[in-house]
Structure 1
Amino acid sequence: MKKSVIFLMLLASAYTLSAQRTDRSYVRRGNKMFKDSLFIKAEENYLKAIDANPELYQGIYNLGNSYIAQQKPNEAIQQFGRTINRLEGEKKSLLENNQTSSDEYEKVKSELASVYHNTGLVYHVSEQYDKAVSAYREALRNNPLDDETRYNMILAQRMLEEQQQQQDQQDQQDQQDQQQEQQQQQQQQEDRQQQQEAEEQEEIS
């Protein structure tokens, strides 16, 4: 499944038909608002969908995307985490029931790859490259053929290496500055001691 800001599939649940229609209605409204760049309105509709069906991971995921659009990365990560937990639970259940060859299993893996990919993007933009690499890696485990995710992971790894090198250089500079400061303090102490000894010598003479 191509990565998209909006999930097009909705979770089948044990809710009544009317409840399902309510869920889907709110999600559809949210999607329309999102498409029209009315992100706060989209958020409101996704929240209503989740309130009607707390297990509706598409609503949770789309809520996270609405937070990205509002430049709220921490809130987005939180919603993506909730989505991942639900999808990982479904994946585990399918594994335990030996349904790894089913279309449902492949769908869950594809959706997990999309959520992990977007999670990686948020961390990437936030310059949390270590977390970005981890998220991209999880995305590739669920969809090894995703070249875009692979490219992003390689880029994040390079940025992480540069970040670590810069941190090492900064740590080294801080250590040198600290040593220099200690030497200056020691020299000042020696100068004061010499001055004090000189003053005492003058008093004696």
Structure 2
Amino acid sequence: MRQVLIIICALIPLSILAQEIDPALQREARKYVREGNELYNQQKFSDAEVAYKKALVNDPAYEIANYNLGNALSQQNRDEEAIAQYEITAKLTEDKMTKSEAYHNIGNTHFDAKKYQPAIDAYKNSLRNNPKDDETRYNLALAQKMLEDQQQNQDNKDNKDNKDNKDDKNQDKKDQNDDKNDDQQDKKDDQQKGDDEKDDKNDQQKDPKDQKDYKGNDQNKKPQPGKLSPQQIQQLLEAMNNEEKKTQEKMNARKEKGKKIKQEKDW
């Protein structure tokens, strides 16, 4: 319900607000404003808000009620609603001091939210209505300095981001070149491996004569047939003589065994 009252106040046309208000309603509105001020000073901001809204129900054009409602909302960190109430006050009032204070508070609310450009605009509007307000002038200079620092930090961040993006692109390009070099090296290694395998195969297919020559250098080679030593020839001849002698003896033995016995006749 509180929110609805704020919206109603914000949407009331200025022509209606300018209409004459019943004096009885104005007195009732002033009563609620005094009640709201007491609650505000006790830091009961939500209760003060209710009292100021009751005052505005009786007198929507009551600039003090609108201004103080903005303060109560600001104390509750409801900044957007507070700004709306200050803007209503600035539009309703003909008093330049009140208008200046409303814009000053709008500037402070934007400043706290680090919205420095809107804060600067509000402080300038405040000074147009009260050029002698040193506090507003100081806040304006501070907001301009903060905006400059904010923009500088943003530029530095953008430059850093651009540098990081550039470094990332350069790294990607370097990685691509490294991959390309690795592929070329792999191909070169594969080619070298193929050449080595080809050389090994050629070595295996050399002239058999070359291989025989290599074997001929073996220190553990066996004697070749037809190249017997004199001692081996002598042993072979003796073995042949012994074999022949044995053969002759076997033949003689067979002859003795096969001889018939002559028998005498009985007559």
What TM-score, normalized to structure 1?
0.76
Q: CA deviation at 1:182?
A: 1.4
Partner of 1:120: 107
Partner of 1:78: 84
Counterpart residue identity of residue 103, structure 2: Y
The equivalent position to 1:64 in structure 2, one of 67, 70, 76, is: 70
The equivalent position to 2:135 in structure 1, one of 136, 148, 162, is: 148
Higher relative contact order (CA 8 A, sep 6+): 1
Partner of 1:49: 55
Counterpart residue identity of residue 113, structure 2: S
Counterpart residue identity of residue 182, structure 1: K
CA distance in 2 between counterparts of 1:71 and 1:121 reads 12
Identity of aligned residues (%): 38
The equivalent position to 2:146 in structure 1, one of 159, 173, 176, is: 159
CA distance in 2 between counterparts of 1:61 and 1:197 reads 78
Q: CA deviation at 1:12?
A: 8.8
Counterpart residue identity of residue 65, structure 2: G
Aligned length: 176
Q: Tell me, what secondary structure is at the counterpart of 1:145?
A: coil
CA distance in 2 between counterparts of 1:56 and 1:124 reads 27
Structure 2 residues not aligned, in runs of 5+:
1-16, 195-267
Structure 1 residues not aligned, in runs of 5+:
1-10, 88-104
The farther-off stretch of 34-43 and 46-55 is 46-55
Shift of the 201–86 alpha-carbon distance from structure 1 to 2, 3 Å rule, reads farther
Q: Deviations over 1:97-146 (max 9, x none)?
A: xxxxxxxx5xx211110101111111222222212111111111011111
What TM-score, normalized to structure 2?
0.60
CA distance in 1 between counterparts of 2:26 and 2:45 reads 23
Shift of the 86–182 alpha-carbon distance from structure 1 to 2, 3 Å rule, reads farther
CA distance in 1 between counterparts of 2:57 and 2:189 reads 87
Q: Are the aligned partners of 2:35 and 2:48 in contact in 1 as well (CA < 8 Å)?
A: yes
Partner of 1:170: 157
Partner of 1:90: none
Counterpart residue identity of residue 84, structure 2: Q
Matches within 5 A, 1:184-195: 184-195=171-182
Shift of the 44–188 alpha-carbon distance from structure 1 to 2, 3 Å rule, reads same
Counterpart residue identity of residue 147, structure 1: D
Shift of the 81–192 alpha-carbon distance from structure 1 to 2, 3 Å rule, reads farther
Matches within 5 A, 1:30-45: 30-45=36-51
The equivalent position to 2:170 in structure 1, one of 183, 192, 195, is: 183
CA distance in 2 between counterparts of 1:40 and 1:15 reads 27
